[in-house]
A = this chain, B = another copy of it.
Amino acid sequence: MSDLPILVRINEEGPREGFQFEPGPIATERKIELIDSLSKTGLREIQVASFVPPKNVPGWADAEKVVAGFTRRPGVRYTALWLNDKGFLRALASNTLDMAGSISLTLSEKFLMRNQKRTLVENIAAQRATIGTYLKHGIPVERLSLMAAFGCNFEGDIPHSRVIQFIQTGVELGAERGLTIKRVSLADTMAWATPKSIKKVVGAVREKYPELELSLHLHDTRGMGIANACAGLEMGIANFDSAVAGLGGCPFAGHRGAAGNVCTEDLVFMCQEMGIETGIDLGALIESALLAEDIVGHPLPGSVMKGGALSRMRERIRAAA
The stretch that binds B, out of A20-28, A53-61, A258-266, is: A258-266
Given contact pairs A195-B274, A226-B226, enumerate 20 new A-B contacts (beta carbons under 8 Å).
Answer: A1-B195, A156-B317, A192-B310, A194-B270, A195-B230, A195-B270, A196-B273, A221-B307, A222-B266, A222-B269, A222-B303, A223-B226, A223-B266, A223-B269, A223-B302, A224-B226, A226-B227, A230-B230, A256-B306, A259-B306
Q: How far is the CB of A289 from chain B (nearest CB, A)?
A: 12
- Whether B230 lies near A307 (C-beta < 8 A) is no
Number of A residues, CB within 8 Å of B: 49
The stretch that binds B, out of A84-92, A147-155, A165-173, A177-185, is: A147-155
Per-residue CB proximity of A180-222 to B under 8 Å, as 1/0? 0000000000011011110100000000000000000000111
Chain copies in the assembled complex = 2
Task: Please pick, from B196, B222, B274, B310, the residue contacting A1 in the complex, using a CB distance under 8 A.
Answer: B196
Q: Which of A221, A222, A231 has the most CB of B within 10 A?
A: A222
- Whether A314 lies near B156 (C-beta < 8 A) is yes
Question: Bound state CA distance, A269 and B231, in angstroms?
Answer: 16
Question: Bound state CA distance, A238 and B195, in angstroms?
Answer: 17
Per-residue CB proximity of A213-257 to B under 8 Å, as 1/0? 000000011111011011100100000000000000000000111
Query: For residue A192, which residues in chain B have a CB less than 8 angstroms away from its CB?
Result: 310
- Whether B194 lies near A151 (C-beta < 8 A) is no
Task: Please pick, from B194, B226, B258, B304, the residue contacting A307 in the complex, using a CB distance under 8 A.
Answer: B258
Asked if A313 is at the interface (CB within 8 A of a chain B CB), the reply is: yes
